């Protein structure tokens, strides 16, 4: 929080934990609630909306994952139960496993690389840059790409990476790093192009998270380390990194969760092609479901993705509860 | 580690940070100068890194095509409508979670609402496509996107409003009760003004996410309603892509979120720490 604001101390950095949900202990004074159902009604409205637009569709999806539904059957209402057949079809298709491989490539060279880069950049910014206003300006500039509409990011990078006369190829040629134009959108490179655009777009997210984590570490510990004459390297390895462990884990989990949603750059930059070489599972689910009307196969994809996300989200919420309470960030 | 090598490492790190800054800025630079070139210059075999002739009128030419202006209007209507809906629902629920945590369902319900924002929208979008198809307004309408964007904006609004209401002292509200205010009057006259700055920032945040959204719009609308996010990737003139106009249009369209971001950068990280930046 204080990170971007420019150095104000984070609220409740230590000690006073905002344990909002346990605020009821000392309440003997008259209750402010007029009616028992007032809070229920207030919370009920959004919960009902979420049931309508999230829970119901999800249940629908689970149901149809075990039917042989497609567009025609859906409108005639004559689908029938087929058991695990859809999952079998998905798990034995080459297209699925190719997309899993693409996802793995994206996770390693997109998500993980972003967090690693972000950690280096964030700690450099905090430890090496001295002036406060420089830090703020640098942070604002670094975060700008994140604020762009994804479709503009996709178009912009498609343009920058145009093989014949794009800026990147021209710049690389000019600097003498390559001898001939790189074909950024052929089967071997298209996924890499998407990853490059994504790294540009989203590295700032883990960077902000790690930076604000570092800002909220108690200065007293560093003071003590300085008095004891610990070297910068030792402080980094023994104090900063261990204390940032959870924050860095959160950055990883957030990027991994996003990876299962990540699809807009695929649509804008390559449409999964050429020859399905840049398809991710999420992209196939949308294509099969909404473009090709194979509803039940899309449902099977969705459930596989859903399962992985559920694991990550559970993990994330556990960390989030801990860190939110410990740092009072939110 | 010796002093000189320590300084060397710092220098290297600073250089890396500087390089990263340049890499971050370069696409923006390229976007801006391309928007100011003419079509012929953007199609040169060897691209120019500085426009030979400046064409600021490109920004006007973008709107020679009526549909481009219409796309911005559609995006605006959808983003604003969704922001209002998210804000009303989120404020009420946030208030309940902050003031009566246990009666409102407690921690688990709050985290469940938040988790809706994190799940990948695949499991929601495909069914919703067929469900909206059966409604009178259909998928291709402002209303369908206004409703769908609640999936990611309402949980965010609920949580951030909950945080802001937590920070607003309840003693003031209690004093208002003692002075004979009805609960509704106390809420509107005492509590709401206290959280108003926070509320405005939440509104801006939600508005940015709805304005920027691409995936839902790409799958749901496209004929009667077109958001700019789906117009820009398919921006062609005849058979040819007019990169200069495309870049000019995208510069215009990305200006609102960038300006809002600079205004509310202080609140950005609150949203970030909920892990919910991506829509």
Q: Which of A40, A47, A160 sits opposite B103 (nearest CB)?
A: A40
Find the Cα–Cα–Cα–Cα dihedral B268, A258, B139, B202, rounded to 10°: -10
In a domain, B50, yes or no: no
Chain B residues within an 8 Å CB radius of A198 = none
Nearest to A124 among B16, B49, B116 (CB): B16
Residue A326 is predicted with a pLDDT of 65
Domain count, chain B: 1
Give a yes or no: residue A153 inside a domain.
yes
Cβ within 8 Å, pair B45-A321: no
**Chain A interface disruption, residue of B120, B139, B163, B227, most A CBs within 10 A:** B120
Chain B residue with Cα closest to A33: B100
pLDDT value of residue B270:
57
**A23 to chain B: nearest residue by CA?**
B101
The answer to whether residue A13 is domain-embedded is no
Residue A213 lies in a domain: yes
pLDDT in tens, B81-92: 999 999 999 999
Model pLDDT, residue B239: 63
pLDDT for res A327? 55
Does B119 sit within 8 Å of A290, measured CB to CB? Answer: no
Give yes or no for B29 touching A (CB within 8 A).
no
> How close is the nearest chain B Cα to the Cα of A188, in Å?
23
In a domain, A39, yes or no: no
pTM, rounded to two decimals: 0.86
Domain residues for the domain of A103 are 90-327
Q: Is B135 domain-assigned?
A: yes
Q: Would the CB atoms of A140 and B107 count as touching at under 8 Å?
A: no
| Span B38-80, pLDDT tens digits | 888 887 878 888 888 888 888 888 888 888 899 999 999 999 9
In a domain, A37, yes or no: no
Q: What pLDDT sits at residue A151?
A: 92
B274–A contact, CB cutoff 8 A: yes
Write the ipTM: 0.88
Q: Is B225 on the interface with A (CB under 8 A)?
A: no
B24 shares contact with chain A (CB less than 8 Å) = yes
Give the whole-angstrom CA distance, residue A183 versus residue A137: 35
Torsions phi, psi for B2 (to 5 deg):
-75, 165
pLDDT of residue A69: 81
| Phi then psi dihedrals of residue A31, to 5 deg | -70, 140
Helix (H) or strand (E) segment spanning residue A309: helix A295-327
Per-residue pLDDT tens digits for B215-262 = 999 888 888 899 999 998 887 666 677 888 889 999 999 999 999 888
Nearest chain B residue to A5 by CA distance is B266
B156 touches chain A (CB under 8 A): no
Are B159 and A330 a contacting pair at CB < 8 A? yes
Instruction: Establish if B238 touches chain A: CB-CB under 8 angstroms.
Output: no
Tell me which chain A residue has its CA closest to the CA of residue B122.
Answer: A302
Look up the CATH number of the domain holding residue B184.
Answer: 1.10.3720.10
- CB contact (8 A) between residue A32 and residue B99: yes
Give chain B positions within 8 Å (CB) of A64.
Answer: 127
3-state SS assignment for residue A272 = coil
Judge: A306–B119 Cβ closer than 8 Å, yes or no: yes
Total domains, chain A: 1
Contact A122, A214 (CB under 8 A): yes
Residue at B179 is within a domain:
yes
Which tokens belong to A122?
């964030």
Burial of B131 (0-12, 13-18, 19+ CB in 10 A): middle
Query: Which site among B7, B18, B27 would you substitute to test the A interface, given the most A Cβ atoms closer than 10 Å to its Cβ?
Result: B27
Give domain status of residue B22, yes or no.
no
Residue B151 has pLDDT above 80, yes or no: yes
Q: Which residues of B touch A129 (CB under 8 A)?
A: 14, 17
Residue of A nearest to B163 (CA): A330
CA distances from B196 to A56, A75, B73, B85, B189 (A): 34, 48, 27, 16, 11
Residues sharing a CB contact under 8 Å with residue B247, sequence separation 6 or more, in sequence order:
A156, A159, B31, B32, B34, B35
Nearest-Cα residue of chain A relative to residue B114 = A317
- The whole-number average pLDDT for the span B91-115 is 85
Looking at CA atoms only, how far is residue A181 from chain B in angstroms? 11
pLDDT at B50: 86
Which residue in chain A is spatially nearest to B111 when comparing CA positions? A317
Residues of A in contact with B174 (CB under 8 A): 29, 32
Distance (Å) from the C-alpha of residue A162 to the closest C-alpha of chain B? 11
Residue A305 to residue A18: CA distance in whole angstroms: 34
Tell me the chain A residues in contact with residue B247 when contact means C-beta distances shorter than 8 Å: 156, 159
Q: Is residue A312 part of a domain?
A: yes
Q: Examine the pLDDT at B1 and tell me if it is beyond 60.
A: no
What's chain B look like in SS3? CCHHHHHHHHHHHHHHHHHHHHHHHHHHHHHHHHHCCCHHHHCCCCCCCCCCCCCCCHHHHHHHCHHHHHHHHHHHHHHHHHHHHHHHHHHHHHHHHHHCCCCCCHHHHHHHHHHHHHCCCHHHHHHHHHHHHCCCCCCCCHHHHHHHCHHHHHHHHHHHHHHHHHHCCHHHHHHHHHCCCCHHHHHHHHHHHHHHHHHHHHHHHHHHHHHHCCHHHHHHCCCCCCCHHHHHHHCCECCECCHHHHHHHHHHHHHHHHHHHHHHHHHHHHHHHCCCCCC
**What's the gap in Å between the CA of B100 and the closest CA on chain A?**
7
How many cross-chain Cβ pairs, A to B, lie less than 8 Å apart? 315
B204 close contact with A: CB closer than 8 A: no
Question: Which chain B residue has the Cα nearest residue A4?
Answer: B266
Q: Do B119 and A309 touch (CB under 8 A)?
A: yes
Structure tokens at A170: 């021209």
More confident residue, A37 or B21: B21
β-bridge partners, A81: A67
Q: Which residue in A271, A316, A78, A145 sits closest to B28, CA to CA?
A: A145
Domain containing A161 — which CATH number? 1.10.3720.10
Residue B51, chain A, CB below 8 Å: the answer is: no
For residue B82, give every residue at least 6 positions away whose Cβ sits within 8 Å of its Cβ, in sequence order, or none.
Answer: B145, B146, B149, B150, B153, B206, B210
Q: Which domain holds residue B150?
A: 59-273
Could you list the mean pLDDT of each consecutive 10-residue stretch along chain A, which spans 330 residues? 36 40 48 70 90 90 86 79 87 90 92 93 90 87 91 92 87 86 87 94 90 85 86 85 87 87 90 86 87 86 88 84 62
Q: Is B164 on the interface with A (CB under 8 A)?
A: no
> Distance between CA B279 and CA B260 in Å, rounded?
17
Tell me, what's the pLDDT at A215?
A: 84
Whether B17 shows a pLDDT value over 90: the answer reads: yes
pLDDT confidence bin for B271, thresholds 50/70/90: low
Of all residues in chain A, the one with the smallest CA distance to B15 is A124
**A1 contacts on B by Cβ (under 8 Å):** 266, 269-270, 273
Residue of B nearest to A317 (CA): B111
């Amino acid at each position: 929080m204080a990170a971007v604001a420019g150095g104000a101390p984070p609220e409740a950095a230590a000690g006073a934990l905002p344990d909002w949900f346990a605020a009821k202990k000392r309440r003997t004074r008259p209750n402010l609630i007029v009616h028992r159902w007032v809070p229920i009604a207030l919370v009920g409205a959004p919960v009902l909306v979420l049931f309508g637009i999230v829970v119901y569709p999800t249940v629908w999806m689970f149901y149809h994952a075990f039917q042989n539904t497609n567009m025609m059957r859906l409108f005639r209402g004559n689908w029938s139960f087929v058991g695990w057949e859809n999952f079998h079809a998905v798990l034995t298709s080459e297209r699925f496993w190719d997309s899993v491989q693409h996802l793995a490539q994206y996770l390693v060279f997109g998500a993980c690389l972003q967090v690693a880069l972000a950690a280096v950049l964030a700690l450099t910014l905090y430890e090496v840059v001295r002036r406060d206003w420089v830090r703020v300006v640098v942070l604002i500039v670094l975060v700008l790409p994140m604020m762009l509409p994804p479709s503009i990011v996709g178009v912009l990078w498609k343009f920058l990476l145009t093989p014949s006369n794009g800026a990147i190829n021209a710049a690389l040629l000019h600097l003498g790093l390559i001898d001939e134009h790189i074909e950024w959108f052929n089967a071997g490179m298209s996924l890499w192009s998407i990853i490059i655009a994504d790294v540009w777009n989203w590295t700032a997210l883990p960077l902000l998270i790690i930076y604000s984590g570092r800002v909220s570490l108690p200065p007293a510990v560093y003071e003590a380390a300085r008095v004891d004459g610990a070297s910068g390297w030792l402080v980094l390895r023994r104090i900063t990194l261990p204390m940032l462990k959870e924050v860095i884990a959160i950055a990883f989990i957030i990027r991994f969760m996003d990876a299962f949603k990540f699809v807009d750059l695929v649509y804008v930059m390559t449409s999964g092609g050429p020859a399905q070489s840049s398809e991710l599972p999420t992209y196939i689910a949308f294509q099969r479901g909404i473009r090709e009307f194979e509803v039940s196969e899309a449902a099977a994809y969705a459930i596989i993705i859903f399962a992985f996300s559920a694991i990550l989200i559970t993990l994330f919420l556990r960390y989030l509860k801990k860190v939110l309470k410990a740092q009072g960030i939110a | 580690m010796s002093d000189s090598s320590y300084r060397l490492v710092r220098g290297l790190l600073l250089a890396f940070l500087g390089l990263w800054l340049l890499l971050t800025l370069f696409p923006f630079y390229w976007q801006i100068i391309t928007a100011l070139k003419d079509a012929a210059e953007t199609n040169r075999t060897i691209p120019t890194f500085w426009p030979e002739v400046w064409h600021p009128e490109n920004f006007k030419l973008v709107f020679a095509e009526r549909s481009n202006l219409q796309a911005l209007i559609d995006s605006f209507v959808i983003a604003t409508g969704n922001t209002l809906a998210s804000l009303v629902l989120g404020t009420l629920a946030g208030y309940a979670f902050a003031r009566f945590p246990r009666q409102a369902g407690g921690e688990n319900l709050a985290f469940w609402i938040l988790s809706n924002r994190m799940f990948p929208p695949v499991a929601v979008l495909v069914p919703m496509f067929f469900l909206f198809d059966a409604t009178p307004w259909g998928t291709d309408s402002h209303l369908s996107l206004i409703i769908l964007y609640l999936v990611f904006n309402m949980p965010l609004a609920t949580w951030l409003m909950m945080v802001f209401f937590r920070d607003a002292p309840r003693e003031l509200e209690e004093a208002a009760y003692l002075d004979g205010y009805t609960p509704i009057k106390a809420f509107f006259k005492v509590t709401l003004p206290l959280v108003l700055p926070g509320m405005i920032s939440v509104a801006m945040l939600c508005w940015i996410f709805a304005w920027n959204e691409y995936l839902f719009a790409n799958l749901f609308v496209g004929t009667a309603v077109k958001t700019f996010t789906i117009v820009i990737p398919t921006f062609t003139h005849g058979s040819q892509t007019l990169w200069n106009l495309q870049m000019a249009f995208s510069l215009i369209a990305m200006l609102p979120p960038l300006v809002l971001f600079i205004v509310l950068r202080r609140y950005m990280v609150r949203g970030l720490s909920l892990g919910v930046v991506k829509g």
